[in-house]
Chain A
Amino acid sequence: MSNLQKEVERLRGERNVVANKMKGKLEPSERQRLIEEGKNLKEGLATLEEDLLKLTDELQQEAQGIPNMTHPDVPIGGEDCSVIRKKVGSPPQFGFQIKDHLQLGKELDLFDFDAAAEVSGSKFYYLKNEAVMLEMGLINWTLSEVMKKGFIPLTTPEIVRSSVVEKCGFQPRGANTQVYSIEGSDQCLIGTAEIPVGGIHMDSILAESLLPLKYAAFSHCFRTEAGAAGAATRGLYRVHQFSKVEMFVLCRPEESDLYHEELIKIEEDLFSSLGLHYKTLDMASGDLGAPAYRKFDVEAWMPGLERFGEISSASNCTDYQSRRLGIRYRPSEPSSASPKKGKANLAPPRFVHTLNATACAVPRMIVCLLENYQQEDGSVTIPEPLRPFMGGLEIIAPKSR
């Protein structure tokens, strides 16, 4: 493509020479010869320009599949090579036969999967009674906590153009896609608020003074979960629709490692506040999504499942998404003593770095809270921080029938 581009430029140069020559006074035969030459150049150029366009598209096609580079500290290998960065708490000791969240939910009349299967299909659910208060409490508390850390609260569209989904590094129309598409349109449902938030500053140049931009977006998320099957997908663990508060940061490249640490710290503080037992993993190279330069996952202990389950993920996507979404910033001059202001003095725009991190994925949190805080009498205690956001509710008790 580079070679073809040089060729095209060369021909254009020649065409300009011919055009210039034609401006002067010429012999008729000379003019005729130039006209012929001009025509040939024009046709040749048209062909080459078409080829150039095709090549550019093919190049994009191939190149877009190249994954982001990887942070040097990331362990190389498959899933089992992920490294534990931090471990907090320990599995609660129960002096009685414990139940999983599905059984607790049934007995406390908190969900309905059966009716949802009839109305919508499997992996859908209704939340009822205190579970609704739990969802609202989790969202309100989480938003409140991250707002204290300077995050701008947002709600977002949940229907977006599929091009935006692609620019964030997802593949709406691939086989086994996670993305629901809307019939008769180029729109899709979002699987995470990362997508509409990433799109806010698409094709923009931000003033450096605006960075870092920190958003906390609350949205519903929709995922087809195509290809996911098995016992681990019972109940609330893997569902097609859920509520989530997502943190999204746009910053200068030099600062993305710093904000990645800040995001994981915020997540860990949230989960510690709720008294969860969890571990933070530095995900191995084979387990990173294409956009992620580095990814930290938090897995919390779920007694009913008798294992750790992922409750959040924090990725540093460096400039992978910003190059696709076209998000840049204009660095302000460090020591601009010169009084002359003009375009010549402006530094060229640079791509921002983007990061995203789950502050709260409601269903998985509900699994954690129900299973970890269950009591022998079948009730569930509400962790302290959530109570003010649930009208003071302290305990979900079995209902008398």
Chain B
Amino acid sequence: MGLQSCIGGTTLQTLKLASIPTLSSSRLVSRPVQLKALTLDFFLLSRHGRSRRSPFPLLARALSAPAIAFQTETPPEEKGNAVVKPQWKAAIDFKWIRENKEAVAVNIRNRNSNANLEAVIELYDKMSNLQKEVERLRGERNVVANKMKGKLEPSERQRLIEEGKNLKEGLATLEEDLLKLTDELQQEAQGIPNMTHPDVPIGGEDCSVIRKKVGSPPQFGFQIKDHLQLGKELDLFDFDAAAEVSGSKFYYLKNEAVMLEMGLINWTLSEVMKKGFIPLTTPEIVRSSVVEKCGFQPRGANTQVYSIEGSDQCLIGTAEIPVGGIHMDSILAESLLPLKYAAFSHCFRTEAGAAGAATRGLYRVHQFSKVEMFVLCRPEESDLYHEELIKIEEDLFSSLGLHYKTLDMASGDLGAPAYRKFDVEAWMPGLERFGEISSASNCTDYQSRRLGIRYRPSEPSSASPKKGKANLAPPRFVHTLNATACAVPRMIVCLLENYQQEDGSVTIPEPLRPFMGGLEIIAPKSR
């Protein structure tokens, strides 16, 4: 349909136009191009309709006017929703939301989300009613069409033709309204965060609960150094040259630090492959729609996402995004699940809004290497795989001899996609505190509803010999999970600071040595 292609064909120009105000004000003020086209057509059609005394314009106007008026009531600042009209539709279960309104509202509150549940429900009701109306009219139009097939008096035929025409125009108007409503509904609903696991502590960051604590801070009998100083003395990094070439928070790794990065990646991949994860490397440039479908906002204020000039592409901040995209818009055979991927990629983050001393050195950088685990599974199993993922992470960190704690993150600290999130924080002696080295999230069906990833359950006891579509169970959305197996810079911070020796050298933990050509120690170089 012409209108549909208008919506789907958003170009970078229109995205840029709409990038500053929220959608609500942008509709009234700096309307994106395709909306202008819609409104214009709407007026044309309704005027046309009125001149022919169609019975429907009043109804149409009554439906659409409150929709627009309603939008002006929403707060002008960004509400945590996408700032531009979505180019894709999330398969959100509106009925479920409506039926579980209270729980959804409580959840939104617990997560400090700006989502507007009332708006969603109102829009949904309007849309449902409009849909019924549209169907009713379609029915009437079919009745008229059928009548016209038979033998009729000329006057009767003429009357039917008139009626048919009126119905058609009215229908066109309503169908347009329906499309607009559907878009508005998507816009609002996409901002509703995922539900929350019942065991998740409610509250802000400080309410997160420690699930596990391993090891203890190493005791040093000498004045210790932080990773920056160690790196300088052992000639392992260069931040100054990188600041000139690229900007702050960029770095070169040199000498043994390169071997450490390669060793960490190779060892990690090898370990998780043993657990049945399929190794992958991924594109690091992706379409921005894929970024959005995973629950990120490429063009929000303070976005973490770098965009490519002159295109709808972005750089990935995590391999979660391109891996999530592999099975976009697919129906997987149940026998394929669970699908477990371990993806190695570089990650790029703007770190806009992050400042302060805690961002010195390798702790917060714009570009880094990471091995990410990603699981697609049946809904009943996601809690299980969440436990499996955190266990894998804990085993990896224990193998390296790190002192760390695993946290069950509080509701106020979960990203919109996460049903539950476990963070691991390792002790960093140079920083004199714990620092996050990994995160494991169960996103249930939040991402899969946006990415369109479903599976076809196989029939449990299909004794019937008759094979056909009638016997197939309807597809269901998979659950997705993601977990950091190794974020290289933070691991380097941990290893350097924890394993430093009095003479300024750093010992390499046993498991990494075979992956570093047998290197046991990073020693100061004679000058």
B259 sits at the interface (CB 8 A): yes
Residues of A within 8 A of B308 (CB): 180-183
Residues of B within 8 A of A144 (CB): 517
* A187 to B306 Cα, complex, angstroms: 11
Encoded as 1 (CB less than 8 Å from any A CB) or 0, chain B from 254 to 291 comes to 11001101100110011000000011111111110010
Beta-carbon contact of A153 and B306 below 8 Å: no
Q: A126-B322, A140-B262, A181-B310 are in contact. Are A220 and B245 (CB under 8 A)?
A: no
B366 at interface by CB-CB < 8 Å: yes
The stretch that binds A, out of B120-128, B236-244, B373-381, B472-480, is: B236-244
In the complex, which residues 336-387 of chain B have their Cβ closer than 8 Å to any Cβ of chain A?
A: 344, 346, 348, 366-367, 369
Interface-centre pick from B247, B310, B348 (highest chain A CB count, 10 A): B247
Size class of the B contact interface (CB-based, 8 Å): 35 or more
**Which parts of B16-65 form the interface with A (CB within 8 Å)?**
none
Cβ–Cβ < 8 Å partners of B269 in chain A: 132, 136
Q: Which residue on A lies nearest to B251, using beta carbons?
A: A157
Docked Cα-Cα span, A125 to B315, in Å, equals 15
Q: Is A271 an interface residue (CB 8 A)?
A: no
Chain A residues near B286 (CB, 8 Å)? 119-120
What is the minimal beta-carbon distance from A302 to any residue of chain B, in angstroms?
21
Closest A residue, CB atoms, query B246:
A157
Q: Does B313 interact with chain A (Cβ within 8 Å)?
A: yes
Chain A 145-165 interface mask (CB, 8 Å, partner B; 1/0): 000000011111111110010
Please measure, in the bound complex, the distance between the C-alpha atom of A129 and the C-alpha atom of B313, giving whole angstroms.
Answer: 27
Give the docked Cα–Cα distance between A201 and B322 (Å): 35
User: In the complex the two chains form, what is the Cα distance from A164 to B262 in whole Å?
Assistant: 27
CB atoms of A153 and B285 under 8 A apart? no
B307 at interface, CB cutoff 8 A? yes
B325 touches A200 (CB 8 A): no
A127 CB-CB contact with B under 8 Å: yes
* A391-B328 in contact (CB<8A): no
Given contacts A152-B254, A180-B285, contact A143 B262 (CB under 8 A): yes
Task: Type the 1/0 row for A262-281, where 1 means its CB is closer than 8 Å to any CB of B.
Answer: 00000000000000000000
A201 to B287, CA, bound (A): 35
A interface footprint on B221-253 (CB within 8 Å = 1, 0 otherwise) = 000000000000000001001101111001111
Contact A241 B307 (CB under 8 A): no
B309 within 8 A of A: yes
Q: Which among A116, A128, A157, A180 is the interface contact of B250 at CB below 8 angstroms?
A: A157
Whole-angstrom CA separation of A125 from B283 in the bound complex: 6
How would residues 93 to 122 of chain A score, 1 for a CB under 8 Å from any chain B CB and 0 otherwise? 000000000000000000010011011110
Determine whether the beta carbon of A120 is less than 8 Å from that of B279.
Answer: no
Q: State whether the Cβ of A135 lies closer than 8 Å to any Cβ in chain B.
A: yes
Q: How far is the CA of A86 from the CA of B443 in the complex (A)?
A: 57
Knowing A143-B262, A155-B261, A391-B270 touch, does A116 contact B280 (C-beta < 8 A)? no
Nearest residue, chain B, Cβ from A180: B308
Nearest A residue to B244 via CB reads A202
**Interface band, chain A:** 35 or more
Interface presence of B326 (CB below 8 A): yes
- A240 CB within 8 Å of chain B: yes
Complex contact A135–B281 (CB within 8 A): yes
Q: Which residue of B lies closest to A163 (CB)?
A: B245
Whether A241 contacts B283 in the complex (CB less than 8 A), given A159-B366, A200-B241, comes out as yes
A203 to B244, CA, bound (A): 10
Task: Please state if B307 and A184 are interface contacts (CB–CB under 8 Å).
Answer: yes
Whether the pair A118, B328 counts as a contact (CB closer than 8 A) is yes
Chain B minimum-CB-distance residue to A198: B245
Give CA–CA (A48, B526) in the complex, Å: 55
A128-B241 contact, Cβ under 8 Å, with A118-B328, A182-B306:
no
List of B residues within 8 angstroms of A127 by Cβ: 280-281
Take A127-B280, A129-B279 as given contacts and tell me if A200 and B253 are in contact as well, using a CB distance cutoff of 8 Å: no
A120 to B284, CA, bound (A): 9
The reply to whether A220 and B306 form a contact with Cβ atoms under 8 Å apart is: no
Specify which chain A residues have a CB less than 8 angstroms from the CB of B369 in the assembled complex.
155
Residues of A within 8 A of B287 (CB): 119-121
Contact of B245 with A124 in the complex, beta carbons under 8 Å: no
CB atoms of A128 and B283 under 8 A apart:
no
Give Cα A181–Cα B265 distance, bound, in whole angstroms: 28
Shortest distance between the CB of A191 and any CB in chain B (Å): 13
Render B317-342 as a binary contact track against A, CB cut-off 8 A, 1 for contact: 00000100111110000000000000
CB atoms of B328 and A199 under 8 A apart: no
Task: From A158, A184, A218, give the contact of B258 (CB < 8 A).
Answer: A218
Choose one: A126, A157, A184, A218; the contact of B367 (CB below 8 Å).
Answer: A157
Among residues of A, the one whose C-beta sits closest to the C-beta of B290 is A119
Q: Are B313 and A120 in contact (CB under 8 A)?
A: yes
Q: How far is the CA of A216 from the CA of B259 in the complex (A)?
A: 12
In the bound assembly, the distance between CA atoms of A139 and B266 in angstroms comes to: 11
Does A126 contact B283, Cβ atoms closer than 8 Å? yes
Chain B contacts of A156 at CB under 8 A?
A: 252
CB of A45 within 8 Å of the partner chain: no
Is A222 close to B, CB under 8 A?
A: yes
Report the bound CA distance from A161 to B247 in whole Å. 8
A157 in contact with B252 given A119-B290, A132-B344, A187-B247 (CB within 8 Å) = yes
A153 and B241 contacting across the interface, CB-CB below 8 Å: no
How far, in whole Å, are A132 and B416 apart by their CA atoms in the complex?
Answer: 32
Contact of A119 (CB < 8 Å), options: B247, B279, B280, B283:
B283
5 closest A-B pairs by CB: A199-B245, A119-B325, A132-B279, A153-B258, A183-B307
A contacts, CB < 8 Å to B: 112, 115-116, 118-121, 124-129, 132-133, 135-136, 139-140, 143-144, 152-161, 164, 180-184, 187, 189, 196, 199-203, 218, 220, 222, 240-241, 243, 391
A120-B286, A159-B348 given; name 13 further pairs at CB < 8 Å.
A120-B313, A121-B313, A140-B266, A157-B252, A159-B250, A160-B245, A180-B308, A182-B306, A182-B309, A183-B310, A196-B242, A200-B252, A240-B285
Binding site for A on B (CB under 8 A): 238, 241-242, 244-247, 250-255, 258-259, 261-262, 265-266, 269-270, 278-287, 290, 306-310, 313, 315, 322, 325-329, 344, 346, 348, 366-367, 369, 517
Sample (18) of A-B pairs whose CB atoms are under 8 Å apart: A119-B287, A119-B325, A125-B283, A127-B281, A132-B280, A153-B254, A154-B258, A155-B253, A158-B348, A159-B250, A161-B246, A164-B246, A199-B241, A202-B244, A203-B244, A220-B346, A222-B284, A243-B281
